[in-house]
Amino acid sequence: MEITKIAENKTEINKNIKAVIFDMGNVLVSLEFSRGLLKFCCGDSIDNIPEVLKNRVFSDFAEGKINPEQFHRLTCEQFGLNFSFELFCHHWCNMFNPMHGIDAIIKELDGKVELGLLSDTDPLHWAFVNKNWPFIKTIKKTTLSFEINCCKPAPQAFLKAAKKVGVAQSECLFIDDLQRNIDGAKNVGMNALQFINVENLYIEFVKNGLLEAHLRNLKL
């Protein structure tokens, strides 16, 4: 990808960034909720998926309050499903797609800054994503909701992520697709950029001195 002009962005970022912390869903991998288990939970229309996700069983699983077997049983009970555990897990994980080009950005950042991950996820999704997109293992310092027992935008989630990468909040840059999480990161003193797409992220990294323009090995 050739960068000919870098778009202006009003977000002010500390020029001494020492760590970049990524969200996972819709940043490192894309999500297609309508393709997986949730389509079986939402009745007549996939438009009901946002309402379905408000059910506490999903947040309890993401926060590590219930294990995969309990999640299977409770979800099937509450939504009238009749899936074996194996088939249930297949459907639950059948929502991820590649985020083309993000692996090249991670590769270029590795060694330049500390890399971290802060994700609202669960043990089934985490195992599936690691198996299918090995580049994520490049990010060694992970802060996962089901391990820390809280989800974004709780302040402690961001503070734990900063502690994990060993960098002050003011020297961390957090990347997430949701505005509420961008706001949450800024509220604890982090720098934050809202993810739009891979090309835009690359432009922002170049603009802020984290990557060089015209990188030969970066194919988006």
**Which among 93, 111, 139 is the end of a domain?**
93
Same domain (yes/no): 162, 102: yes
CB 28 within 8 A of CB 96: no
pLDDT tens profile 128-153:
999 999 999 999 999 999 999 999 99
Q: At residue 143, what are phi and psi to the nearest 5 degrees?
A: -125, 105
174 and 139 belong to one structural domain: yes
pLDDT category at 1 given cuts 50, 70, 90 is very low
Q: How far is CA 16 from CA 115, 210, 211, in A?
A: 15, 10, 13
Same domain, 162 and 129: yes
**Which pLDDT score, from 0 to 100, does residue 74 have?**
98
Domain assignment of residue 107, given as a range: 19-31+97-207
Q: What is the pLDDT of residue 46?
A: 84
- Shared-domain flag, residues 154 and 52: no
215 pLDDT band, cuts 50/70/90, is low
Answer with the one of 71, 93, 115 that is the final residue of a domain.
Answer: 93
The pTM score is 0.91
Q: What are the residues whose beta carbons fall under 8 Å from the beta carbon of 4, sequence distance 6 or more?
A: none
Whether residues 53 and 103 fall in one domain: no
